């Protein structure tokens, strides 16, 4: 009889210890799961906050004015993303509708310290790139004019397109000098300053 009670007592102790172990393992698993989840969030936050890039989401309606670039005063333009003092590069897309056909004008900024240092001389046999001196000794730019493939706008007398870009500034530009209005959405990331890599045959 006492042997049977002893066995029952042992079984009860064993069950109690087993329950404690199960509870401890469960709590440990939950704790590890929460800790790992917390680490994951932490890593994600670090990844996001360590990204120095700025995101731009810009919409607007605008009318054109004479192009501010020297020698281009007879053209009309709307500046969408301006040159930055830190020479940062924008990368993104602009979707727009205009009242005249336009080019998407992308400026590539000279990355030398001032307007006279490191002037690049391209041999004549390769042709000529337009290098424009900015006013106020603010360096030089070269221009890429992208002529979009237009779709007919809502009124039948407007021009619509969507163009990706990468450069130091972005504008809508009419080479014929016709004033125009535009509505647009531009999205871009500011990627920081580009590394200068020239490879000119001398």
Residue 150's domain is classified under what CATH number?
2.60.120
Choose among 86, 105, 87: nearest CA to 145: 105
Asked if 18 and 117 sit in the same domain, the reply is no
Domain boundary residue among 51, 66, 87?
Answer: 51
- 9 token code pair: 């007592």
pLDDT at 12 over 70: no
Domain count, the chain: 2
Domain contains 199: no
pLDDT: is 71 or 77 the higher one?
77
Containing domain of residue 7, as a range? 1-51
pLDDT at 85 over 70: yes
Classify 16 in phi/psi space as left (phi over 0), alpha (psi -120 to 50) or beta. alpha
Instruction: Determine the straight-line distance between the first and last CA of the chain, rounded to whole angstroms.
Output: 108
**In degrees rounded to 5, what are phi and psi of residue 178?**
-85, 125
Domain contains 100: yes
Asked if 45 and 125 sit in the same domain, the reply is no
Asked if 177 and 158 sit in the same domain, the reply is yes
Q: What is the pLDDT of residues 138-163, one digit of tens each?
A: 788 999 999 998 886 666 789 999 99
Asked if 78 and 135 sit in the same domain, the reply is yes
Asked if 75 and 167 sit in the same domain, the reply is yes
Asked if 44 and 110 sit in the same domain, the reply is no
Task: Judge residue 115's burial from the number of C-beta atoms within 10 Å of its C-beta, 0-12 exposed, 13-18 middle, 19 or more buried.
Answer: middle
Asked if 165 and 116 sit in the same domain, the reply is yes
Asked if 40 and 118 sit in the same domain, the reply is no
Distance CA 79, CA 190 (A): 17
pLDDT at 136: 79
Asked if 184 and 137 sit in the same domain, the reply is yes
Instruction: Return the residue matching tokens 């007879």.
Output: 74
Q: What is the mean pLDDT of residues 85-95?
A: 94
Around Cβ 153, how many Cβ atoms within 10 Å? 16
pLDDT at 7: 59
Domain contains 94: yes
Q: What is the pLDDT of residues 44-74, one digit of tens each?
A: 332 323 235 799 999 999 999 999 888 888 9
Asked if 75 and 132 sit in the same domain, the reply is yes
Asked if 5 and 85 sit in the same domain, the reply is no
Q: What is the mean pLDDT of residues 155-184?
A: 94
Asked if 149 and 59 sit in the same domain, the reply is yes
Q: What is the pLDDT of residues 108-142, one digit of tens each?
A: 987 554 444 456 778 889 998 888 888 877 788 99
- 163 token code pair: 């163009």
Domain contains 104: yes
């Amino acid at each position: 009889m006492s042997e049977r009670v002893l066995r029952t007592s042992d079984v009860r102790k064993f069950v109690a210890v087993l329950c404690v172990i199960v509870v401890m393992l469960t709590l440990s698993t939950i704790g590890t799961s929460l800790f790992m989840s917390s680490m994951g969030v932490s890593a994600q936050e670090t990844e996001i906050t360590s990204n120095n890039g700025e995101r731009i989401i810009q919409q607007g309606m605008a009318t054109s004015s004479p192009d501010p670039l020297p020698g281009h005063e007879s053209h009309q333009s709307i500046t969408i993303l301006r040159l930055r003092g830190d020479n940062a590069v924008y990368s993104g897309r602009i979707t727009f509708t205009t009242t005249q056909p336009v080019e998407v004008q992308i400026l590539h900024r000279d990355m030398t310290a001032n307007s006279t240092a490191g002037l690049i001389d391209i041999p004549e046999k390769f042709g000529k790139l337009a290098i424009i001196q900015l006013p106020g000794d603010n360096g030089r730019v070269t221009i890429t004019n992208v002529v979009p493939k237009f779709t007919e706008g809502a009124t039948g007398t407007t021009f619509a397109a969507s163009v990706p870009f990468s450069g130091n500034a972005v504008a809508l530009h009419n080479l014929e000098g016709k004033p125009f209005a535009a509505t647009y959405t531009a999205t871009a990331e500011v990627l920081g300053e580009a590394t200068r890599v020239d490879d000119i045959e001398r």
